[in-house]
Amino acid sequence: MEESFKNEVEKTLASVDQVDRLEAGSYFYSKLRARMEVSEQPVFKLKWGLASLCIITIFNVFTYLNFSMNQEEDNTDNVAQLASEYNMEWTSIYTNELVE
Amino acid sequence: MQLTSPGLKEDDLVNQLKKHNEDAFKTLVTYYQNKVYNLCYSYLRSRSEAEDLAQEVFIEVYQSIGNFRERSGLGTWIYRITVNKSLEYIRRLNRNKRWAFVYSLFGKEEYVARYHRDEMHPGVKLENKERVTLLFSKIDELPEKQRTVFLLHKVEGQSYAEAAKIMETTVSSVESLMHRAKMNLRKSLREYYKSEKD
């Protein structure tokens, strides 16, 4: 009995030698190129997307900083101009109290 | 393992590939596509998945040729990528099977269901069908290194020295892995035939 098992095992192990080699389909290269073109596109888009995002962020930060600095200067100028037009003096409530 | 395309040496081909030359890439794919596909099929035993994986191997070759240092032959390097990608694919598949329940909760059954093994190896004659199917199912149960040595040597016809280069190990280690692979296969096949008799 043990001998028959051994024969079966050896026959099964040897069966791998009778397996024919497989061949990739005839359009393998065309399919590969098509897939490469598709997979290249998102990378291209992603690269440009990231670059555009960086440029927009830098532009926004620059604009914000520039605007906030100008606004501070503008406010001071505007208040001073308004005060001189209406002959208003720079006094605080403490000055008023002293005058009284 | 030299590329034997007439009029084109391997060094020249590698140089052209590094420049992403279209003709050189086509020559490489034409020469290696059946070898890569056949090895992928031996691991996965699904024609569609093997073709997908073989394509991934060539995409990797195209993208990483700049890192190829020519310490080993081009063929050895391509076989190494094929082995690594195949084992990686099987690990990912097993991981997905373990998480199949979780995927099904989120309606992502296709993560696992996409993969179907072919009923029969296309390169097998009908009288050998059962034996080869049984043998490959037992090969699947072998540890990764033993499986790789067995497939490279018995299915791909690589010598022990070439298998050692592909697996970045010594020839004696490959011999030992092959011995253990055969021993394990004999053991599990004997158990199978015994259980069939009982």
In a domain, A1, yes or no: no
Quick check: is A91 in a domain? yes
pLDDT tens digits for range B100-117: 767 666 666 655 556 677
Chain B hits for A11, CB-CB cut-off 8 Å, are: 131
Indicate the SS3 state at residue B118. coil
- Taking the C-alpha atoms of B8, B10, B11 and B14 in order, what is their torsion angle to the nearest 10 degrees? 100
CB-CB neighbours of A3 under 10 Å: 7
Query: What pLDDT was estimated at residue B38?
Result: 94
The answer as to whether A21 is a domain residue is no
* Structural domain count of chain A: 1
* pLDDT at residue number B98: 75
B22-44 vs B47-64: helix axis angle to the nearest 10? 140
Residue A88 placed within a domain: yes
The answer to whether residue A7 is domain-embedded is no
d(CA B21, CA B13): 9
For residue A71, pLDDT beyond 60: yes
Q: Is residue A87 part of a domain?
A: yes
* Touching B: A residues 31-70, CB under 8 Å: 31-32, 35-36, 39
> To the nearest whole angstrom, how far is the Cα of B117 from the nearest Cα of chain A?
16
Tokens of B150: 């067995």
pLDDT in tens, B143-191: 999 999 999 999 999 999 999 999 999 999 999 999 999 999 999 999 9
Domains of chain B with bracketed CATH: 1-118 (1.10.1740.10), 119-198 (1.10.10.10)
> Is some CB atom of chain A closer than 8 A to the CB atom of B90?
no
- The Cα-based distances of A86 to A74, A77, A90, A97, B195 in angstroms read 18, 15, 12, 22, 109
Q: Do B34 and A24 touch (CB under 8 A)?
A: yes
Domain span including residue A52 = 30-99
Reported as a single tens digit per residue, the pLDDT across B2-31 is 554 545 688 889 999 999 999 999 999 999
Closest Cβ–Cβ partner in A8, A23, A39 for B193: A8
What is the mean predicted confidence (pLDDT) over A44-58? 81
Select the residue of B26, B34, B155 nearest A16 (Cβ to Cβ): B155
Is 70 exceeded by the pLDDT of residue B121? yes
What CA–CA distances, in Å, run from B115 to B45, B46, B50, B166, B178? 10, 8, 11, 27, 29
- Do the domain assignments include residue A46? yes
